[in-house]
Copies of this chain bind each other. A is one copy, B any other.
């Protein structure tokens, strides 16, 4: 089933201990769409400038991603400049040029209206809500957010959260949003804000899913699930790891006939798998070239990494 994703399609200039790249294709919607495309049909809503060429669009098309919702506006695309020092878990933003994103008003093409899954990537919660309200009949809405919106646009974010089925954020963001340092308590508070299910990403330590009573109509035996991350000897560029996790997670969910606890758990593993590929190269390079066979091999590796019954 189709996923509609709204978010940034951008260019990134990145410096990490492994090197630098200038203006490579990036953006949350881009990483998400590529990762999800291995599992299901993805449709993108975003805005780009005149610097976004047919060659860039071809990266999406080669993965059967529908780009009819990517608006072309006069001016330059959103451009993020950032740096990772020794601690690869944390990006230092050096510069954010919103450019055409500044006045972005998401428009949903008619051809996207029958999408059954909606992913609200990390953008202004006002825009997330605007898109969410135009898609009232989707089967599931999952979203992301970040510190900037949590502290500076809290009211609007809380309004948007009330209309999300699942929230997928990182550890520090979850604690900040809840105003609570204990993760289990933080999860409880967040699930009172709207999302029935919360997925918290712990970077190199994996991710935890919290299932509320409303997560599954038939109930769930356990209220937590922990998925591992692959210990990596080399992280070239962490940019987009979280969005790739989201793409693997939501893409797998959308590909399944029903949303059972078992499906959610496998989705968490696929999230970790796609995140682990994303960081192996700068920008979208690895996600552009990974094969479904490699994805399945790595899924098996994640299982071996964490399961007692595999020697």
Contacts and interface: CB of A to CB of B under 8 A. Distances in A.
Interface string A146-168: 00000000000000000000000
Interface string A212-247: 000000001110111110111111000000000000
Contacts of A261: 311
Contact of A185 (B230, B233, B269): B233
Given A306-B306, A308-B269, A204 B183 contact: yes
A304 B222 contact: yes
A225 B306 contact: yes
B308 A226 contact: no
A121 B54 CA distance: 62
A225 B305 contact: yes
Interface residues of A, number: 46
Contacts of A234: 182
A182 B233 contact: yes
Contacts of A86: 181
Interface of A: 86-88, 181-185, 187-188, 202, 204-206, 208, 210, 220-222, 224-228, 230-235, 260-262, 265-266, 269, 301, 303-311
30 contacts: A88-B182, A182-B232, A182-B233, A182-B234, A182-B235, A183-B204, A184-B231, A184-B232, A184-B233, A185-B233, A187-B231, A205-B205, A206-B206, A206-B226, A210-B231, A220-B311, A222-B301, A222-B304, A222-B310, A224-B231, A224-B305, A225-B306, A226-B305, A226-B306, A227-B306, A228-B306, A262-B311, A269-B308, A303-B308, A307-B307
